Amino acid sequence: DTALAQIINSVRQAQSAKPAIARLADNIASVFVPAVVAISVLTFFIWGIWGPEPSWGYAFVTAMTVLVIACPCALGLATPISVMVGVGRAAQSGILIRNGEALQIAGRITCLIVDKTGTITEGKPKVTELVTYHGFTQDTVLQIAASVESGSEHPLAAAVLNAAAEQQLSLIPAQDFHAISGQGITAEVNSQRVLFGNPLLLDNNTISYSQCVGDLERLAKLGNTPMLLAVDQKVVGIVAVADPIKPDSAKAVQQLKDNGIKVIMVTGDNETTARAIAKQAGITEIRAQVLPQDKASVVKDIQQQGYITCMVGDGINDAPALAQADIGMAIGTGTDIAIESADMVILQGSLVKIPEAINLSKATMSNIKQNLLGAFFYNVISIPVAAGLLYPFFGLLLNPMIAGAAMALSSVTVVTNANRLRWLKI
């Protein structure tokens, strides 16, 4: 299927999905119909027995008027029409809602957990600095690092490979390649064992990097992700990679804070680098050095604190966390599995769409409640009037034709109110 066909299919599924409030309306409607029939029968006998002459004529007219004016369709339309319009309005703004339930929950989010790479940042990291040791040149360090990363799909690997290509460095065939999640890569280059990754990788392989600590801290404070290159148990260089934040990340974070939503950044980077990036985005709380398989556990821990959570991510390693959160939002520029695990997809990758999705959710839920209350009060007022409640006081009986017009108008009112969402400024 084409991407457009998949988007259309997702919108249709979301529009046909029933959030909890819709199921409540259906339950009310299922009781409403027999209740109206019972009221109509009761009205018939009350007028037939105690009404003025011709009593059974009055009885027939009032009983029919009750059936005509009652409008279960307004109750039945109240929720699905608002959901349909709300999902369509979201699609116009570049927000793909794949789950109708998410439209209800989004407005109640109290904590947003956001991945760093590709979500807060551009996801297009670049090599910013090379530090060398033991007589290795910058070109040699970059060449070996790129050779090791040649089999990796990680965004940081792309940065190293691009830097090597810019310097026109040829890659050396790497063998015995092993990617270690959350740590780095090991391989064999020119019959030498090479490790390339974060300090944890070297710790687990008992390689000392004490002479590099100063450089690591300096680079991290600048917002870089420093990666150590070790050849035959000896650190020979550091490759520093930086991923600039998206232009609208800070604006989106501030809007979320203004809505009373707690924002937490989760990343596999060390705490110094994570705090440098978080500071640029205006985020004060972080979870650093989180392994990919542990992101879902972080979300679960936050949920256990009583927060209604939303996870925002773009990578394959975010998929379990997206599924664990009350709502998962995927960046449309991310991986297919992340998008499939999410309830909402931000098609253009702009984080300001998150506050927009939350505002739209609140507006849609408010619209649904308006429709339900309007339909409820219409029936509560109109049915007694149709049954002849005003006759003893004013001598008035409702004409069945007017009752039919009122019934149609109630449904039109619900549809018109729902369509106000089309022009909602979010």
Q: From CA 231, how far away is CA 188, in angstroms rounded?
A: 9
CB 84 within 8 A of CB 15: yes
User: 337 is written with which tokens?
Assistant: 């599995």
- Give the pLDDT of residue 1: 53
CB 300 within 8 A of CB 311: no
In angstroms, the Cα distances linking 412 to 301, 316, 415 are: 46, 46, 5
Q: From CA 363, how far away is CA 388, in angstroms rounded?
A: 38
- Give the pLDDT of residue 14: 46
Q: From CA 411, how far away is CA 350, in angstroms rounded?
A: 38
Cβ neighbours for 336, distance < 8 A, ≥ 6 positions apart: none
pLDDT in tens, 226-237: 999 999 999 999
Q: From CA 241, how far away is CA 128, in angstroms rounded?
A: 6
In angstroms, the Cα distances linking 323 to 299, 339, 341 are: 10, 10, 6
Per the document, the length of the chain is 426
- Give the pLDDT of residue 421: 94
In angstroms, the Cα distances linking 79 to 67, 74, 106, 368, 426 are: 23, 9, 16, 5, 20
The burial class, CB within 10 Å (0-12 / 13-18 / 19+), for 210 is exposed
Q: In which residue ranges of the chain is pLDDT below 70? A: 1-23, 25, 333-338
CATH number for region 97-122+245-354: 3.40.50.1000
Verify whether residue 248 is a known catalytic residue: no
Output the CA torsion sign for 104, 107, 111, 113. Answer: positive
- Give the pLDDT of residue 4: 56
pLDDT in tens, 237-277: 999 999 889 999 999 999 999 999 999 999 988 888 899 99
**Where along the chain do its domains lie?**
3-86+358-423, 97-122+245-354, 126-242
Is the pTM higher than 0.85? The answer reads no
CB 81 within 8 A of CB 417: no
CATH number for region 126-242: 3.40.1110.10
Residue from 1, 115, 258, 326 carrying the catalytic annotation: 115
User: 336 is written with which tokens?
Assistant: 């297919």
Peptide bond into 54 cis (omega under 30): yes
Share of the chain above pLDDT 70, in %: 92
